[in-house]
């Protein structure tokens, strides 16, 4: 839900009304899609959570997916807030605290799901290539501590939203929830703008490297090795 501040030239009342009508159509369609996603996701994830948590024996595998589904359900529960944001024409009505908290939660869900899928890939690799080691070290308490560590790391990487996310009031009175990377009240100064750009680029690179590139390489490497291992086993029969 990141958004840049754009200044539009003055228009006549007729043109403003036509632009408003044109902009409401995609916002309405997107909001309807988000609400539908929320309903399906809440029911589906809730059902999976009920089955994994109450109907199945707790194992390392079920523990992985129990937390993965919990993360997905948390993400789903945040959708209505942003659907309302769209319905109101990108006008934020939930206040500064919710602006920071909701976007931080979205970031936590993103990092946690990526990191957990990466750990599941590593788990598959160790099960196939190091079964003896896995039998002695792949225990519920250790996996539980590992998952808690992933939650904490995901929260730590999402703290920039708590620091830099804020509300901005536009000329027409519309309130938007955006990132402001200035660290001083003199944010119009050249030095502050340069520092803000550096902070923005640093956060982007961290998110790209830790939230995409490194997990992607690990996942591809793990499943490539797992696939090769299964291929060689099939040659024996």
Tens digit of each residue's pLDDT (9 = 90 or more) over 46-82: 999 999 988 899 999 999 999 999 999 999 999 999 9
Tell me the two tokens of residue 1: 């839900």
Question: What do you get for the CA distance between the two ends of the chain, in Å?
Answer: 53
pLDDT of residue 5: 39
Phi and psi at residue 59, in whole multiples of 5°? -125, 175
The CA-CA-CA angle for residues 84, 74, 97, to 5°, reads 55
Tell me if 145 sits within 8 A of 103, measured CB to CB. no
Q: What pLDDT, on a 0 to 100 scale, did the predictor assign at position 8?
A: 33
pLDDT over threshold 70, residue 232 = no
Reply yes or no on whether the pLDDT at 6 is more than 50.
no
Mean pLDDT, all residues of the chain: 84
For 76-112, what is each residue's pLDDT tens digit?
999 999 999 999 988 999 999 999 999 999 999 999 9
Cβ(166)–Cβ(99) below 8 Å? yes
Question: 168-207: per-residue pLDDT in tens?
Answer: 898 888 999 998 887 655 555 566 677 878 888 999 999 9
Question: Is 21's pLDDT higher than 70?
Answer: no
Instruction: Give the residue among 80, 77, 82, 83 at the shortest CA–CA distance from 49.
Output: 77
Per-residue DSSP letter, 59? -
């Amino acid at each position: 839900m990141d958004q840049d501040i754009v200044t539009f030239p003055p228009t006549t009342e007729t043109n403003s009304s036509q632009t408003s009508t044109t902009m409401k159509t995609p916002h309405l369609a997107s909001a309807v899609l988000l609400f539908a996603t929320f309903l399906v996701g809440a029911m589906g994830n809730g059902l999976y959570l009920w089955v994994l948590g109450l109907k199945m024996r707790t194992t390392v595998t079920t523990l992985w997916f129990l937390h993965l589904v919990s993360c997905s359900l948390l993400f789903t529960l945040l959708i209505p807030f942003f659907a309302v944001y769209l319905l109101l024409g990108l006008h934020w009505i939930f206040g500064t605290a919710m602006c920071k908290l909701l976007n931080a939660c979205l970031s936590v869900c993103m990092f946690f799901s990526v990191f957990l899928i990466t750990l599941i890939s590593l788990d598959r690799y160790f099960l196939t290539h190091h079964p003896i080691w896995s039998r002695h070290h792949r225990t519920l308490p250790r996996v539980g501590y590992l998952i808690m560590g992933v939650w904490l790391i995901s929260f730590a990487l999402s703290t920039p939203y708590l620091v830099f996310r804020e509300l901005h009031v536009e000329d027409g009175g519309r309130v938007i929830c955006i990132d402001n990377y200035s660290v001083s009240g003199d944010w119009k100064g050249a030095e502050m703008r340069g520092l803000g750009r550096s902070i923005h680029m640093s956060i982007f690179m961290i998110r790209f490297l830790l939230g995409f590139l490194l997990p992607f390489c690990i996942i591809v490497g793990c499943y490539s090795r797992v696939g090769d291992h299964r291929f060689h086993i099939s040659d024996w029969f």
